[in-house]
Amino acid sequence: MPNLPFDNWRFVAVLILVLALARVGVQRFAGMRESFQSQALELLDSLLIAIVLVFCIIRPFVVQAFYIPSGSMRNTLQEKDRILVNRFIYRLRAPNRRDIVVFKAPPAASSEPKDFIKRLVGKEGDLVAVRDGVLYVNGKAQDEPYIRQPMYYPFPEDFYTALDEEKWGPLVEQDGMQCVRVPKGMLFVLGDNRNDSNDGHRWGFLPRRNLLGRAMVIFWPIPRIRLLH
């Protein structure tokens, strides 16, 4: 799907310039009735203020649009979905399990700078495991109606090597099940399309500082508009 015009900062800059020039033209047009001129100036001022607020304050610091490039979050999110992400929310509260989060991919996940989107399933101190296609957190099986299919893989692997321990830390047994503990300052994230996702079970824990925000709503395409849970 082609980019929307408002995704392009040049388009926004040109729009602001056009509105500013229109305002100057209306202000200097001597033949215009005073009442009409006043209404036109008020409308142009409102548009200019709204655009500056949205694209210079709200969009960079509060809400930002993101594009979904892959199927790693199916069926919750599909390729070419466009979503709005709340960039401010984690300054007010800690992230919660089940949040759909956008983050800067750590080097182990991508060799080049990229933003990823996954579901937060484990917080600092949580014990996490996957057995028989089910995610366990702190010994409790998680009800996850949003995943595309049960996991084909165990986590941690049955054959746990020294390299695994270096990556994940020492195993912790809980209720007869081997688990990994999410370290301090870290999170554990998985895609909803668990068996086809470049997520935490492959590359490791996510530093809390990498979080960019929480996905809130699909706004494009129109038939898929909905809140995200």
Active-site residues: which are they?
A: 72, 118
Q: Prior bond to 95 cis, omega within 30?
A: no
- Altogether, the residues listed in the chain come to a count of 229
Which residues, including other chains, have CB under 8 Å from residue 98's CB and lie 6 or more apart?
119, 120, 121, 229
**No. of H helices and E strands in the chain?**
6, 13
The span from the first CA to the last CA of the chain, in angstroms, equals 25
The CA distance from 44 to 46, in Å, is 5
Q: What angle do CA 206, 207, 208 make, to 5 degrees?
A: 110
